[in-house]
Structures are given as structure tokens and as C-alpha cells.
Amino acid sequence: MYKFNRYPLCSLVYFEAAKILGYDKDEAASMAQGRAAFFAAAKWGFKNKNKVVDNPNITLVDSVPFAGLAAFILPAGSLEGVNGVRCCTRDGDKIHQPSSYYKNESKIKKLVGVEGLEKLRAFVQSELQALGDDVNTNAVYNFYKNNRDKARMESFYNEEVLLSA
């Protein structure tokens, strides 16, 4: 039986990947939320994908390579009171805030406990570190895809030793 859904796990994987790539904690959280939201939208067929949004900040939207796909961002200084980048939808209409990431992390912690979350985080960090330079490629998605079911099962949290997938 699954302990939690895919979205919080996807967010955790990409949060750790962003930290390895040098983003600070808030930037990494925003990048992770953007990537998890992208995959969730892809799963459901990108509803409203042709919607045009009139956004005065559209000229501020930039993109950076992030774990195999472009991440659309509002660069530092484009949002009042925000010094770091914020991930956004392509046209800048939805900005992914770091606080949303921590809500997802708390969902995992609520269902597997503090020790379970730390075990999961250690596994993700170890596997992503092992990717080396490939952490900014689709190898991150492949890791997520190959482990998303295993890491959500109760048996994962009962294992004594985590093995590479």
C-alpha cells in the first residue's frame, strides 16, 4: 500500500537536485514545486495549455536548464522582497513559492514520521550525488521514475539497508 502520492516525492527529489546544483533552499523549493507541478500537469494532459495570460511581468520570464528540462523563472529582483529566483509557468502567470514545498514535505513526514522522511531524504541525496554531473540531465527523472513506487511503499521504510536501484 502506498503511504503518500507521487507529487510530494517528486518535489523532494527535485528539491534535492536543485540544492546539489547550487540553488539556495528557497530557490530549490520553488524549482522543485515547478517541476512537480509540470509533471502533474503532464499526467493530466496539460489542461488549459493554450490559455493566454496577460501578464505585465512576461518580459521578466527567463529559463534555465534544470535536470533535463528548461525551468521558467523570474530572476532575482523581479519580485518585490525576493532576492532569489522563483520558478513559474512559462508565461509567468503562476509563481511557485517555496512554502508550498514544505507543505509537501510535511505530508510525507505525517505519513512516515520524522525518521522515515530522513531515511527517504538520505536515499534521494545519496542516489543524486552518485549521478555526478548528470544531476542536471534527465537522469534525475529516471531516478524518480524508477523509485517512485518503491519509495512510497511501507516496505521501503522497514528496510534496514537501502540499495541503489
Domain that residue 56 falls in: 6-158
> What is the domain count for the chain?
1
Q: How far is CA 68 from the centre of its chain?
A: 13
152 and 3 in contact (C-beta within 8 Å)? Answer: yes
Within 8 A by CB and 6+ apart from 114, the residues are none
- Measure the CA–CA gap between 111 and 33, rounded to whole angstroms: 20
Residue at 163 is within a domain: no
- Measure the CA–CA gap between 160 and 107, rounded to whole angstroms: 23
Would the pLDDT of 163 be above 50? no
- pLDDT digits 0-9 by tens, 35-88: 999 888 877 665 655 554 555 555 678 899 999 999 999 888 888 878 889 998
What grid cell was written down for 89?
A: 509557468
- CA-nearest of 130, 109, 132, 106 to 119 is 109
Residue at 112 is within a domain: yes
Residue at 1 is within a domain: no
Residue at 106 is within a domain: yes
pTM for this model (two decimals): 0.86
Residue at 164 is within a domain: no
Residue at 81 is within a domain: yes
Query: To which H or E segment does residue 143 belong?
Result: helix 139-147
